[in-house]
Structures are given as structure tokens and as C-alpha cells.
């Protein structure tokens, strides 16, 4: 079952204060996760989580603060202050060539139109970029090309020294909500209901610099795309505001599987239709994914759901993992999952072994 390890509300805690162990919720025999801990440090909505190594992860959100945690004990290790508005994106970042120490770095973007490089070992602010014309909503690292991308109203390519290499023209007032790397020097950008495939062209002897080419637009979603992740070498997955989940072929960009309204297992029943009409859009919005070799773990509304890639259906769920919408999920070592929410909490969950799960069938719908 989903067992809660660590999490919490919006009350601040002192530096290096460890949260008390709490066990919350009823036994759910069909649920492979158990909540283990609740972490308290943020003063507002927590939107992002990123694993730093086997022992640490970082959280960030609307209070503009990055908190570095011990993933095993729930101890708050560092608090990184530097942004003046909410944080809009966070990724891990390779060490800069100019730095002698090879410490763990992260890159954060904010609504204050800045991007900051942080040293997560010392809490030091390494470098800051303040030349953005609009808010950066997403970041992506392309290690093979040794560049990173920022997405907002346009798409920009940067080197590790934080020099701007090239950018697109204005794409949309809505902006790019998510970015991932795919093969053939391409990236996928979520812009409203669309997916746009871009190809990055690196400099050659005959060219003066970098370039970004638009290759294709995919229009299969019916509503705004909120989440976009790679799940393996063959596929990537998207999720929308109205609960659509689409699995795409990573090479030819065709649809492999599609679940629309799969929170409703019996649409032909009048009672189910009535329930569906009463649902708020936020109750079914897919805000984020993470994955392992077999499953995609989906943040849907306030809940967490396990979608099996081979069976192409939901095999387990925790419908009320948080008090408000779950905005981000990430995997930790030792079969653990972390989630954060609009309720201001960060929670760590433990995945039970398969043989411990109940044999009775799990409903195929989210709701």
C-alpha cells in the first residue's frame, strides 16, 4: 500500500529539524504504497521535487525557497534563498568547468525572471542569469550536446557557462509548460494543447552557430498539457488538464496508447455520468509523472495512481494522497516515492513488494 513516511503543512521548521514519524490513513489492501513520512519546511504550495543522489532530494515552490532534505531521515539539510518570487522550474546541473570542486549543482527558474545555479553541498549561489524577457516555466538538460534549455514564451539554448547560444521567436503567450529530450537531437515542447517537436542544430565548420528548427506539431490532446516525461528508450508520456494520458513512440512520434477519461470505468451508467459531471477539472488533472521499468506513477488531482505500461491500465491507487492537488512526484532508491502538493506538504511513500499485494482485482478507473 502507499505508506506515508514524511510530509506536512505550511508551518516553518528550524534548520536541520527532523519531522516526527507519523502513520496516517487506513489499511488499503489493494494499494501498493504506504505513507512513511511528512516533511514540514515550506510556507506555501510545493510544486517541484528533484533527486540529488541516493541520500538527498530538493523541494521548491511558491515561497521561492529550495529545501534540501535527507531522504532517509527527513532531516532538513539546507534552505536556499535567492529568488524573490515563486520557483517555476528546477533541474540537476553538471558541475561548471570553472569550479574546482565537483559539488552537486541545481538550476532553478523563477517568476522573478531569473535563473540561479546553486551548490547543494554548501548552499552557495554559484551564478545567476537575469536577462529573460518572460518567466521561464521549464528547464531541460541535454547532456549529450552539453547544453541546457529554458522554455517560456520562447525556447532558448544555453551552454554550461550560462551563455545564450540561440533562441526561437515568440512561440505563444501561453508559453512552454514542459520540455524533454528525445533522439536525433530533438526535444518535445508542450505548448497549450500542442506538442511541438524541435531539432537542435549544433555548429559545424560551415555554420556560424546553433539553430533551432521546428519539425512537427502533434494535436492529439483535447486540453492543455500539464505533464510530459520520458518513460523509457521507446516511449514518452503526456497528461492533460482533463485527465488524458497518451503514450507516444519516441522515434516516430505516433500514439502507442491513449486513456481518455480512464478515471471513469463505467461511462455507460447514468449514475457514473452524473458523478462525472460533478467532478471539478482539478480533480482529474494530470500534473506530473514518474516511472520505473514497468509502471508510470501518475499525480492525478489529490491522488497517486499506478499505470502499468504492459497491461495499459491502472493497477493501484491512493485517491487522497494529499489534502490538495498533487503537483509533482519523483522516485527515490529503495522502492520509495516522494510527492508534493498545493497543501504545502512533501510526503515520502514506500512501495510494498509485489507478493504482499492482495490478489483481488484493482479497479481500472481513477475514480
For residue 313, the model assigns a pLDDT of 83
Number of H helices, E strands in the chain: 2, 29
How many other CB atoms are found less than 10 A from the CB of residue 333? 11
Counted residue by residue, the chain has a size of 367
**pLDDT category of residue 33 using cuts at 50, 70 and 90:** low
Residues 40 and 21: their CA atoms lie apart, in Å, by 12
- Predicted confidence (pLDDT) per residue in 223-275, tens digit: 999 999 999 899 999 999 998 999 999 999 999 988 875 454 433 333 333 33
What order do you get walking across the sheet with 186-191 strand by strand?
Answer: 176-182, 186-191, 194-201, 211-218
How many other CB atoms are found less than 10 A from the CB of residue 126? 19
Residues 365 and 272: their CA atoms lie apart, in Å, by 11
Closest by CA position to 258, among listed 286, 233, 282, 232? 286
At residue 57, does pLDDT exceed 80?
yes
Among all chains, which residue has been given the C-alpha cell 574546482?
100
User: Among the listed ranges 198-207, 272-281, 351-360, which one has the minimum average pLDDT value?
Assistant: 272-281
Residues 222 and 67: their CA atoms lie apart, in Å, by 36
Residues 55 and 335: their CA atoms lie apart, in Å, by 13
At residue 29, does pLDDT exceed 70?
no
CB 67 within 8 A of CB 79: yes
Task: Supply the pTM of this predicted model.
Answer: 0.80
Give the three-state DSSP class for 56: strand
At residue 17, does pLDDT exceed 70?
no
Residues 337 and 346: their CA atoms lie apart, in Å, by 11
Read off the pLDDT of each residue in 152-181 and give the average, rounded to a whole number: 91
At residue 87, does pLDDT exceed 70?
yes
Read off the pLDDT of each residue in 119-132 and give the average, rounded to a whole number: 92
CB 313 within 8 A of CB 297: no
What order do you get walking across the sheet with 105-110 strand by strand?
Answer: 87-93, 105-110, 115-119, 125-129
Amino acid at each position: 500500500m502507499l505508506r506515508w513516511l514524511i510530509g506536512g503543512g505550511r508551518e516553518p521548521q528550524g534548520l536541520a529539524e527532523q519531522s516526527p514519524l507519523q502513520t496516517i490513513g487506513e489499511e488499503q489492501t489493494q494499494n501498493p504504497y504506504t505513507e512513511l513520512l511528512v516533511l514540514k519546511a515550506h510556507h506555501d504550495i510545493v510544486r517541484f521535487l528533484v533527486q540529488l543522489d541516493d541520500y538527498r532530494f530538493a523541494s521548491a515552490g511558491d515561497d521561492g525557497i529550495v529545501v534540501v532534505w535527507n531522504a532517509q531521515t527527513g532531516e532538513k539539510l539546507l534552505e536556499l534563498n535567492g529568488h524573490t518570487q515563486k520557483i517555476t522550474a528546477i533541474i540537476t546541473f553538471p558541475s561548471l568547468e570553472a569550479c574546482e570542486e565537483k559539488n552537486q549543482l541545481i538550476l532553478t527558474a523563477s517568476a522573478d525572471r531569473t535563473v540561479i545555479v546553486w551548490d547543494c553541498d554548501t548552499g552557495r549561489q554559484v551564478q545567476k542569469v537575469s536577462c529573460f524577457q518572460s518567466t521561464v516555466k521549464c528547464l531541460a538538460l541535454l547532456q549529450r550536446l552539453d547544453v541546457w534549455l529554458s522554455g517560456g514564451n520562447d525556447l532558448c539554448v544555453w551552454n554550461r557557462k550560462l551563455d545564450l547560444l540561440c533562441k526561437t521567436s515568440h512561440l505563444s503567450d501561453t508559453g512552454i509548460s514542459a520540455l524533454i529530450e528525445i533522439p536525433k537531437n530533438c526535444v518535445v515542447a508542450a505548448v497549450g494543447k500542442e506538442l511541438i517537436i524541435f531539432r537542435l542544430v549544433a555548429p559545424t565548420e560551415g555554420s556560424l552557430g546553433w539553430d533551432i528548427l521546428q519539425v512537427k506539431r502533434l494535436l492529439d490532446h483535447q486540453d492543455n498539457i500539464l505533464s510530459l516525461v520520458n518513460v523509457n528508450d521507446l516511449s514518452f508520456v503526456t497528461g492533460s488538464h482533463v485527465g488524458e494520458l497518451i503514450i507516444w513512440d519516441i522515434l516516430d512520434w505516433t500514439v502507442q496508447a491513449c486513456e481518455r477519461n480512464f478515471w471513469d470505468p463505467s461511462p455507460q451508467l447514468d449514475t457514473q455520468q452524473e458523478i462525472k459531471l460533478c467532478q471539478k477539472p482539478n480533480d482529474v488533472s494530470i500534473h506530473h509523472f514518474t516511472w520505473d521499468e514497468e509502471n508510470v506513477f501518475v499525480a492525478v488531482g489529490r491522488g497517486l495512481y499506478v499505470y502499468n505500461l504492459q497491461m495499459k491500465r491502472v493497477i493501484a491507487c491512493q485517491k487522497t494522497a494529499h489534502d490538495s492537488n498533487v503537483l509533482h512526484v519523483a522516485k527515490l532508491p529503495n522502492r520509495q516515492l516522494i510527492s508534493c502538493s498545493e497543501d504545502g506538504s512533501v510526503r515520502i511513500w514506500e512501495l510494498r513488494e509485489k507478493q504482499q499485494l492482495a490478489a483481488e482485482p484493482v479497479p481500472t478507473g481513477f475514480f
